Amino acid sequence: MKNQPTLILGTAMWGWTISRQDCFALLDYFYGQGFREVDAATNYPINKKPEDFRLAETILKEWIAVHGVHDLRLMMKVGSLNNQRTPEINLCRSFLLIMLDEYRQLFGSNLGTFMLHWDNRSEEGAIRDSLEGLDAARREGLQAGLSGIRHPEVYARLNQEFRFDFRIQVKHNILQSDFGRYAPFHGAARFIAYGINAGGIKLDPAEYHERSSLKTRGAEANMAHPMLPQLRDAIGKASLNANRPPISSFNQIGMVYAFYSPDMEGILLGASRIGQLRDSLAFYETLKAHDYGDLYQSLKERHAEEP
């Protein structure tokens, strides 16, 4: 079997649907269980409230200061200039160097990966300028990363010169995956799956509550995805295997799908409550101890059948 992906705690909803107190509790539990990787971005939370710009990273910095932690492996995504869900970015070399210096000051040894975020550009000259900024981060001992890249083929072409060992965040779940779009990097980069629960989809509509992330983002929670009956059927068949625990949630389906996917080195968890995080960490141990390869193959085939 391929190397098992690690778990990464996400912060996209911190300061939005997740209070500072709950963020602290999530980090306390995650860290206490021996996990160290945390994902953040300059524009989190993306709730269109200017006063909340960079709030998620502020909460994270406060937690680090309170606990005196020095061994996180923080992934910081930079480039976005606001949290209004607009495509406005600055990824020029000079700006990246400013942000690199600032995040080095803010997080010190806790900073592990420096990522370019939300790049819609296709011009080789502009992208080369960004990669030169990223190279400065590499020289300081940080890993290089990409997230939300519209033209990965340009990055792959230029990387023949730079030779980055990229960590690439990619939306990847049974209903929607951008992994195929990053084909130029397949087998040559380390991928991290985010959005594994497709924005908060539940197998049972009765599970949604008013603070559910799906509702918060404006989606109709009562609109069942046409693929859900097929997924329930796959779960039912998988449950006939008495040698392993049955699947009980869409989040667990997402974890199976990411865990067995090729090139995935990490799974990003967007837990908003301690109960969710506890369940995810427990199921992660189940995944490491039991074989769900047949379920993954079934999910993969069903995904391929989708138009």
Which residue type does 28 have?
A: D
pLDDT of residue 214: 53
pLDDT of residue 229: 81
Residue with tokens 């992906």: 5
Tens digits of per-residue pLDDT, 281-292?
Answer: 999 999 999 999
Phi and psi at residue 277, in whole multiples of 5°? Answer: -65, -45
Task: List strand residue ranges (DSSP E) for 21-86, in order.
Answer: 37-41, 73-78
pLDDT of residue 239: 85
Tens digits of per-residue pLDDT, 66-89?
Answer: 999 999 999 999 999 999 999 999
Domain holding 93, by residue range, is 6-305
C-alpha radius of gyration, the chain, whole number: 19
DSSP tag of 177: B
Q: Who has greater pLDDT, 130 or 206?
A: 130
Is the confidence at residue 31, as pLDDT, over 90? yes
Across the range 244-258, mean pLDDT stands at 94
Across the range 9-24, mean pLDDT stands at 97
pLDDT of residue 84: 95
* pLDDT-based confidence at residue 242 (cuts at 50, 70, 90): confident
In a domain, 81, yes or no: yes
Across the range 28-41, mean pLDDT stands at 98
Distances (CA, A) of 7 to 49, 53, 124, 207, 281: 29, 26, 33, 24, 8
Residue with tokens 């009980």: 248
The model carries a pTM of 0.91
CB 18 within 8 A of CB 52: no
Q: β-strand 167-171 against 111-119: which pairing, if any?
A: unpaired
pLDDT of residue 224: 59
Across the range 30-46, mean pLDDT stands at 98
In a domain, 1, yes or no: no
In a domain, 210, yes or no: yes
* pLDDT-based confidence at residue 307 (cuts at 50, 70, 90): very low
Tens digits of per-residue pLDDT, 195-239?
Answer: 999 876 767 666 655 555 555 555 554 455 777 888 888 888 888
In a domain, 278, yes or no: yes
pLDDT of residue 201: 79
Return mean pLDDT, the chain. Answer: 92
The C-alpha angle with vertex 257 and arms to 254 and 259, in degrees rounded to 5, equals 100
CATH label of the domain that carries residue 96: 3.20.20.100
In a domain, 50, yes or no: yes
SS3 of 137, please? Answer: helix
Across the range 101-110, mean pLDDT stands at 98
Q: Who has greater pLDDT, 2 or 84?
A: 84
SS3 of 41, please? Answer: strand
Tens digits of per-residue pLDDT, 181-201?
Answer: 999 999 999 999 999 998 767
Q: Give the contacts of 224 (CB within 8 A, at least 6 positions apart).
A: 205
- Name the burial class of residue 66, with classes exposed (0-12), middle (13-18) and buried (19+) by CB atoms within 10 angstroms of its CB: exposed
Domain count, the chain: 1
Tens digits of per-residue pLDDT, 143-168?
Answer: 999 999 999 999 999 999 999 999 99
In a domain, 173, yes or no: yes
